[in-house]
Amino acid sequence: MRHSSPNERAFTVSQLNQRARQLLEISFSQVRVEGEISNLSRPSSGHWYFTLKDSGAQVRCAMFRARTAQLRFMPKEGDFVEVSGKVSLYENRGDYQLIIDHMKPAGEGALLLAFQQLKAQLAQQGLFDPAHKKPLPVVRRVGIITSATGAALHDMLTVLARRSPAIEVDIYPTAVQGRDAIPQIIHAIERANRDQRVDVLLLGRGGGSLEDLWCFNDEHVARAIYASHIPIVSAVGHETDVTIADFVADVRAPTPSAAAELISPDQHVQLQRVQQQQARLLAAMQRILHDHQQRLRQWQSRCRTPQHVLTAHSQQLDQLELRLQRAWQIQWQRCATQLQQQQRALQQQHPQRLLGLQQERLSALSPRLTLAMKQQIQRFQQTLASHVSLLHNLSPLNVLARGYSITQTAEGAVVQQTQQVQPGMRLRSRVQDGWIDSDVCAIQTEESS
């Protein structure tokens, strides 16, 4: 075992992660892995991040926009896929991950899955409805949309020349394979409909693999066929080849030759060796190209280019974007909760609610106030009656009624003692029913008696 010397310089974390990434990318420059997709996220950058797992383990994966744009199917959570790429390390976090170059459904080709998905979508939208399909007219002039150098054109022209030389032919040359084929086929269909020169259009090419025929499985081509006012006969590939164009077209012919026979008075089936040889040649060329691409990727993995740095920063930016989105959602939920709480508190303090409570309280107190007023009046009445009775008992008139009288001098002074009068004085006495005038004859005190 090798032991580091005290003078040996230690790695920084960045240097360690960089060295680990280089070792991983050199040792595992091209691997194929099968697993189930989980935690799939698609930021606005166009890159995809997900976890590939099986029953016992999982690994982080990244597939960048340049690669995702080439996929012909849309993966989703739970899909079981086969991926190929290189093992790498996300240096900023020290995470071990797979950088994906290609992906396909495990056990089934990606093109076949994309074909099935698009077929189901267009069928649901009614593009295959038999009620929309137009019958073939009597053909005097035919338009052929195909490659100007392909065997399919030669086959159709040969059949038409042999079967019905009087039929005129307009050729709309297009590519029938690759990216340029799609816009050229759409333009040819639209141009033929604008010109209105032909009675029917033959859309076809020779046989090939599903990838070779893929331009006839494009959604835009299918919609252009559906929108055509001129009847279209689809004649793509061999009899066993089936494309989306076959389902949308008004009539499907098994081969280009059969399409020419179908619109001409006679019908003969011709198979073309050149088409088969072309398909085999194209397949061989693709295998050679694939081998060279693998070698190129191996050499690229051994050198660190600005693309690696850009990829790492792009991945870091995607992670920050995802964190920002999650933080924004949490903040939004918190604000929504606070708003609901404030609304409930405001409803509790609303003047209308407080007024209602005071009105309820007033309604409850009003009967009590009326009862209290009645009881108070009754107490006052009882007190008044008691005072009236006491006043009546103390009234001088009440005393006079018992036989007593009040004696006054002529000046009106009440006589209370004998010293206040002299013999001969005139006095007035008040009795119950009036006054008595009298003269004093004699005065007698208690002592003299």
Mean pLDDT across 391-396? 73
Mean pLDDT across 395-423? 79
144 and 92 part of one domain: no
263 and 145 part of one domain: yes
Distance between first and last Cα of the chain: 158
CA distances from 365 to 47, 361, 372 (A): 73, 6, 10
What is the b/e burial string over 34-49, where b = at least 16 CB atoms within 10 angstroms of the residue's CB? ebbbeeeeebeeebbb
More confident residue, 302 or 145: 145
138 and 108 part of one domain: no
Provide φ and ψ at 29, rounded to 5°. -70, -25
Q: What percent of the chain has pLDDT over 70?
A: 89
**Paired strand residues for 37:** 52
Q: Are 83 and 102 in contact (CB under 8 A)?
A: yes
94 and 163 part of one domain: no
155 and 244 part of one domain: yes
94 and 165 part of one domain: no
**Paired strand residues for 105:** 81
72 alpha-carbon distance from chain centroid: 25
Helical residues (DSSP H) of 196-272, grouped into ranges: 219-227, 244-248, 256-263
Q: Is 58 contained in some domain?
A: yes
136 and 162 part of one domain: yes
pLDDT at 91: 75
In this structure, what token pair is assigned to residue 13?
């974390």
pTM of the model: 0.41
More confident residue, 347 or 258: 258
188 and 252 part of one domain: yes
Neighbouring C-beta atoms of residue 385, cutoff 10 Å: 10
Render pLDDT for 32-88 as a digit per residue (tens, 0 to 9). 888 888 899 999 888 999 999 887 889 899 999 988 888 877 888 888 888 888 888
3-state secondary structure of 288: helix
Q: Is 254 contained in some domain?
A: yes
Q: Is 387 exposed, middle or buried (0-12, 13-18, 19+ CB in 10 A)?
A: exposed
Mean pLDDT across 129-150? 92
Q: Is 415 contained in some domain?
A: yes
Q: Domain count of the chain?
A: 3
pLDDT at 110: 58
pLDDT at 164: 87
265 and 146 part of one domain: yes
For the chain, give the mean pLDDT: 83
**Strand pairing report for 95-105 and 80-90:** antiparallel
103 and 246 part of one domain: no
The helix/strand count (H/E) of the chain reads as 12, 13
Residue 77 domain boundaries? 13-112
**Paired strand residues for 436:** 429
Q: Is 70 contained in some domain?
A: yes
Q: Are 184 and 157 in contact (CB under 8 A)?
A: no
139 and 275 part of one domain: yes
Q: Is 362 contained in some domain?
A: no
Q: Which of 281, 296, 327 is the last residue of a domain?
A: 281
CA distances from 280 to 129, 148, 179, 276, 381 (A): 35, 20, 20, 6, 127
Q: Indicate which CATH number applies to the domain containing 209.
A: 3.40.50.10550
Q: Is 329 contained in some domain?
A: no
Render pLDDT for 276-317 as a digit per residue (tens, 0 to 9). 777 888 888 888 888 888 888 777 666 666 666 677 778 888
Q: Indicate which CATH number applies to the domain containing 89.
A: 2.40.50.140
Q: Is 333 contained in some domain?
A: no
Q: Residue 200 and residue 249: Cα distance in Å, rounded?
A: 11
Q: Which of 281, 297, 320 is the last residue of a domain?
A: 281
Q: Is 117 contained in some domain?
A: no
Render pLDDT for 227-276 as a digit per residue (tens, 0 to 9). 999 999 999 888 777 899 999 999 999 999 999 999 887 544 333 455 67
Q: Which of 281, 305, 338 is the last residue of a domain?
A: 281
pLDDT at 147: 92
267 and 169 part of one domain: yes
User: Above 80 in pLDDT, residue 19?
Assistant: no
